[in-house]
A = this chain, B = another copy of it.
Amino acid sequence: MTRFALTLEYDGRPFMGWQRQNHGPSVQQALEEAVFAMTGERTAVHAAGRTDAGVHALAMRAHVDIAKPVAAFRLMEALNALVRPRSVAVLACTVVPDDWHARFSCLARAYEYRIVTRRAPLTWEAGLAWQVPQPLDADAMHATAQVLVGRHDFTTFRSAHCQADSPVRTLDLLDVARDGERIVVKAAARSFLHHQVRSMVGCLAMVGMGRWSCDDLAEALAARDRARLGLNAPPDGLFFVRAVYP
């Protein structure tokens, strides 16, 4: 049995998310079926993060154990040829030790959230960014975002379906930068709660619209109450961009 680490890019639009679901296609299932088509082996593919429906990845990390002797490069080429829908690509594949685990060995994760502020609907970028029809004050968003950086109870920013034992997380970075009508929010932490990035981005957008002050955000955080969430941003603009390992 050989363990392979995969670096994956995917377009989240056709999927119900990373994790296998009974009610629709998932990235995990697409990859597991490509592995089966190549090796005849039914084996699980584990990822660093279980992204939601419609969320994308530029460089998700995952691992899979395969009994059939196969070179890493050949495995990558075969998975790229066999995976369906073709909205998943294996960018890199390497052999790793048996104790390397895409999820449990991961030391840090980073996401990027893309916003386009304009009245006109998106065309080629539809589903790949959040279109907000008014201008947003990115400087105010960035300044306010720093309230969330550090170790906090993020109950307000956590989905009701979150299965994590604790709502406490340490947010290492939350940066907001603007380039014309485009705003990118970068977030990094050891791990995130379910919907945490989208919930933080949604509340920062409230700040950017001038509907929330910095104090409103601080109070929402301190309340530790999901009902105090200002806005949950749609999955469209969210990209998993990096997983860090020892």
Residues of B within 8 A of A13 (CB): 124
Binding site for B on A (CB under 8 A): 9-11, 13, 56, 76-77, 80, 86-91, 118-124, 126, 128
Copies in the complex: 2
Residues of B within 8 A of A77 (CB): 119
CB distance from A218 to the nearest CB of B (A): 35
Main secondary structure of the interface of A (DSSP, over half): loop
- Are the C-beta atoms of A86 and B124 separated by less than 8 Å? no
- Are the C-beta atoms of A89 and B120 separated by less than 8 Å? yes
Residues of B within 8 A of A10 (CB): 123-124
- Are the C-beta atoms of A87 and B123 separated by less than 8 Å? yes
- Are the C-beta atoms of A121 and B11 separated by less than 8 Å? no
Residues of B within 8 A of A128 (CB): 124
Residues of B within 8 A of A121 (CB): 80, 86, 89
Chain B minimum-CB-distance residue to A83: B121
Residues of B within 8 A of A9 (CB): 120, 123-124
Question: What are 17 contact pairs spanning A and B, CB under 8 A?
Answer: A9-B120, A9-B123, A10-B123, A11-B124, A11-B126, A77-B119, A80-B119, A80-B120, A86-B121, A87-B123, A87-B124, A89-B120, A89-B123, A90-B120, A91-B118, A91-B120, A124-B128
- Are the C-beta atoms of B11 and A123 separated by less than 8 Å? yes
- Are the C-beta atoms of B11 and A56 separated by less than 8 Å? no
Complex CA gap A122/B9 in Å reads 8
Complex CA gap A11/B11 in Å reads 17
